[in-house]
Amino acid sequence: MAPRRSIAALLAIALVSPAACSDTAGEAGDALIIYSGRNKELVGGILEQLKQSVGGNVEVRYGGSAEMAAQILEEGGGTQADVFFSQDAGALGALTEQGKLAALPQDVLGLVPEKYRADNGTWVATSARSRVVTYDPGQVAEADLPASADAILDPKWRGKVGYAPTNASWQAFVTGLRVIRGEEGAKQWLAKFKANEPKRFENNIAILDAVDKGQLALGLINHYYWYARVAEVGADKVKAKLHFVSGNDPLGLVNVAGVGVVNGSPQNEAAVKAVRFLLSDQAQRYFADRTAEYPANPAVAPGKHQLPPLGSLQGPDIDLSKLSSLQQTLSVLQEVGLS
């Protein structure tokens, strides 16, 4: 099997990939250029509003977070990117490690809790998502729900837990597990998880479908898939329920989408204005209502989905920038046979 590519090894792909595309044709000129690792379908609406708020010419280029981060690294000092909008903290951490993101003003950093921004102030979260356990109440009583990652390994769950091995959120969970428990600790957990015969699915939606149909007892997903389903069909038509794991356990990992200003950007003032907009009530409400994520700015309450406040979540206390070590995670997953 060919070795997995690191973020840096994605550079060549990123530079020629059709996935990296622009909303604006032609030369950038004096435009504020945003490299977005977030899907246009999800965030295109709020980035259009950002254009109006920032003023002037704003260009958005879309692609995968890892690919866009890799492109910034490859372009070096000649990059056209002024702002990097990432789907996950890992890609932001990778750029921070290479000195590619500039420190943000304190008034911007202060809008977000300390645990959801870089230690050196180079990026801030714009929204958050929690790993959760979705379950079939017809098969699992509330009193029997797993209270930790280790509880998932109980033999009573053999063949009853669904996961999506190629999904970025699963890989981020495993990366968090590595950060918290070390390489050997993570390998031990993964080996036991594999021995418990978990069911493989293509993605989180497929897992939720299986639980909702009573075909699976438990599934490991992100919270917003369930909320989106409820918003689409109504709570009375969704059989599956959600279980938030507390106690600072890896199974309750809270990951974030986030944004940073590229170091050396000639559009620094406009770039900071763009970051500030993404933390505004207008943008935070968009994330809460449109994408069913948690607002990163605690001054903005969850919207129509009635999510519990971000501060109420009890995920593991880790430096989210360290989720950049995806390459090591992929190697570990391949080694234990869960890739």
Q: Which residues are annotated as a binding site for Fe cation?
A: 224-225
Token pair, residue 303, equals 């919207």
Question: Which residues are known binding-site members?
Answer: 224-225
Token pair, residue 137, equals 């109440």
How big, in percent rounded to 5, are the helix, strand and coil portions of the chain? 45, 15, 35
- Decide: 288 and 221 in contact? Cβ < 8 Å: no
Contacts of 281 (CB under 8 A, 6+ apart): 297, 299, 300
Contacts of 117 (CB under 8 A, 6+ apart): 109, 123, 124, 125, 258
Task: Give the C-alpha separation, 280 to 75, whole Å.
Answer: 30
Bridge partners (DSSP) listed for residue 290: none
The CB density around residue 107, as the number of other CB atoms within 10 Å, is: 9
- Decide: 239 and 209 in contact? Cβ < 8 Å: no
Task: Give the C-alpha separation, 236 to 243, whole Å.
Answer: 18
- Decide: 173 and 132 in contact? Cβ < 8 Å: no
Contacts of 247 (CB under 8 A, 6+ apart): 147, 148, 314
> Positive or negative CA dihedral for 210, 214, 216, 218?
positive
User: Residue with structure tokens 């989905």?
Assistant: 305
- Decide: 173 and 321 in contact? Cβ < 8 Å: no
Bridge partners (DSSP) listed for residue 219: 134, 162
What letter does residue 309 receive in the DSSP assignment?
A: P
Comparing CA positions, the residue from 69, 37, 87 lying closest to residue 256 is 87
